[in-house]
Amino acid sequence: MKFKNKRQAMSMRRDSYVCKCCGTIHDKQSLGLVGRPSVCISCKTVQNFYYFASKAELQRYSELLLQQKAKIIYSLETQVTFPLQVRGVYITRYVADFTYTKNNVFVIEDVKGHKDHLEPVFKIKAKLVHVLYGTEILITARS
């Protein structure tokens, strides 16, 4: 689907939240939520959610959880922030969708709609992450 502008694309986002305790998915649009859910509808846990900006990101998280349970990957984390500093000067930050360890290699992963249409800001941040942290960002396109 092609969008006329970024505002139209952002309006089509499907924000989702997953309860950290029971794994229940709270879809912002289907539940009629305005902001972040305050209580899990299943286990009644308060303010304990993972945030996902798209269905593709949520689907990838589910796949990575299965891999972690099968002990293929370890130390899965979401929304990890990497400060980007050059010679002690803070430039910006990069927030990775996922980080984990696979075959004793640290992996930074980002879920994108298309690998071919990356934003220029993302390309610059990816290069900075590669230079500063020595790890390339694995880009996973939605399926």
90 pLDDT band, cuts 50/70/90, is: very high
> 1-13: per-residue pLDDT in tens?
454 555 555 454 5
Q: Domain check: are 73 and 46 in the same one?
A: no
Q: What is the CATH number of the domain that holds 8?
A: 2.20.28
Same domain, 105 and 49: no
74, 88 in Cβ contact below 8 A? no
* 124 and 65 within one domain: yes
* pTM recorded for the entire structure: 0.66
Query: pLDDT tens digit string along 11-63?
Result: 545 566 666 555 666 565 555 555 555 555 555 545 455 667 777 788 888 88
Do 121 and 109 share a structural domain?
yes
- If one counts the domains in the chain, the total is 2
Tokens describing residue 11: 């309006």
What is the Cα–Cα distance from 22 to 24, expressed in whole angstroms? 6
- Residue 25: give the domain boundaries: 1-53
- Give residue-wise pLDDT tens across range 57-71: 888 888 888 898 899
Same domain? 97 vs 39: no
